[in-house]
Structure 1
Amino acid sequence: MSRDGEEVEETVPIITPAGNTIIRRRPDPFLVTIRCFSFVTCLAAILCIVVNILSAVRSFKHGSDIFDGIFRCYAVVIACLVILAETEWSFIIRFFQISEYWAARGMLQIFVAVMTRAFPDYLGDRRELVLFQRIASYFLLACGAVYVVSGILCIGFLKRSRQKQEITREQAAKDLEELQRRREELEQVLLEERV
């Protein structure tokens, strides 16, 4: 099965000793890689949420900078949008259609990373929180940069195309299994009639 010079082996028929054919489906490595990267991006966004919540609690608790606390609350809300965009639920995509475009998704992630990195603690009384802020923000910044570059290279379009192919292959495999089951039932009925 080749299309445009590309070798694709998603389903492999296996013939058992009894003569039955079993269809074994292989996942598309490209889609598996995309799902893993999406999971990593969700982890980075969760780290940013945790950092921003800790910073907001600290700001409100000490009363040192109320505006920093409010800013952190907005960062938490937008980071939650990043996680929802990564889930790609049809309900979310319908109401937040810009998340379908990878460059826009990457810019949103970069924005959250910048918000997480903003207002660092220069007094040095909570160095571990500042270090945690830097790690979380640069982690999400890297994910956002990858999304922007991938969006420019139209990887999102390629992903949607491969997902449609995967759905088509899964449906074809299910149809083939159903036909095989019906054939076996028909053979069984024919054997019973002969006897």
Structure 2
Amino acid sequence: MSSTHQDPELVPEDDTPPLLDHQYVKRNDSFLVACRCFSGITAISAILCVVANVFSAIHAFKSGDDIFGGVLRCYAIVIALFVAVAETEWQRIFQFWRILEYWAGRGMLQVFVAVMTRALSDLESGGQAMVILQQVSSYMLLGCGLVYIITGLLCIGHLKRYRMKKAESREQALRDLEELEQRRRELESLLARKSRN
């Protein structure tokens, strides 16, 4: 004789869905965090190159002996600013300069700015501190550019773009789930009010 009695441990006490564990869903991708840190270092190096080239350009125009060098330093300032803004990965830049989306192209531009900063450095422009700033900024940006070129050739940039899309889709799914949870709570409270009436 078959029994319709069920094990009480198998019967759910409450039919409400389990709460979403936000800490589990909002976990950070350590690879993307490392990429953000490296982008920050590259942006700081580019800004240091901007500062070094600004002081060198001011000195070149004040002395009047090296007007063409001053103009070249102005170009280096503009390109270094462009490198710093590109590290924010602002999509508007990538629409017009598609090559900067690829790490090898971005790295070549960084190497170009670093070489310009080092080649145009003026040993007489601001004393020992200025020389140190020019050398440190140019070598930092040169190192970042070489890392970008090597990792770009190894398709690490493609991996980063893939993981960024995956993280964005996860965040969108989390927002959708939060909206659904809020809607469910609103419906439950509405149902509770109607049942009391």
Instruction: Please give the range of the TM-score, normalised by the shorter of the 2 chains.
Output: 0.7 to 0.9
1:181 maps to a residue whose letter is Q
> How many angstroms apart in 1 are the aligned matches of 2:116 and 2:86?
18
**In 2, are the aligned partners of 1:102 and 1:151 still within 8 Å (CA)?**
yes
Specify which structure has the higher proportion of strand: 1
- Number of residue equivalences: 177
Shift of residue 149 of structure 1? 0.9
For 1:182-193, what aligned pairs fall within 5 Å after superposition? 182-193=183-194
CA 1:191 to 1:133, structure 2 compared with 1: closer, same or farther past 3 Å? same
For 1:1-195, what aligned pairs fall within 5 Å after superposition? 20-24=19-23, 25-121=26-122, 126-195=127-196
> How many angstroms apart in 1 are the aligned matches of 2:143 and 2:89?
20
> How many angstroms apart in 2 are the aligned matches of 1:57 and 1:121?
11
1:61 maps to a residue whose letter is K
CA 1:63 to 1:180, structure 2 compared with 1: closer, same or farther past 3 Å? same
> How many angstroms apart in 1 are the aligned matches of 2:126 and 2:187?
78
2:157 maps to a residue whose letter is G
**In 2, are the aligned partners of 1:53 and 1:73 still within 8 Å (CA)?**
yes
Shift of residue 193 of structure 1? 2.6
CA 1:22 to 1:58, structure 2 compared with 1: closer, same or farther past 3 Å? same
RMSD (Å), alpha carbons? 1.8
Unmatched 5+ stretches in structure 1: 1-18
Which of these two proteins has the greater Rg computed from alpha carbons? Answer: 2
Shift of residue 106 of structure 1? 0.3
> How many angstroms apart in 2 are the aligned matches of 1:163 and 1:97?
18
Shift of residue 186 of structure 1? 2.1
Where 2:65 maps in the other structure, the secondary structure is coil
Runs of 4+ in 1 over 6 A off after TM superposition: none
Shift of residue 122 of structure 1? 5.4
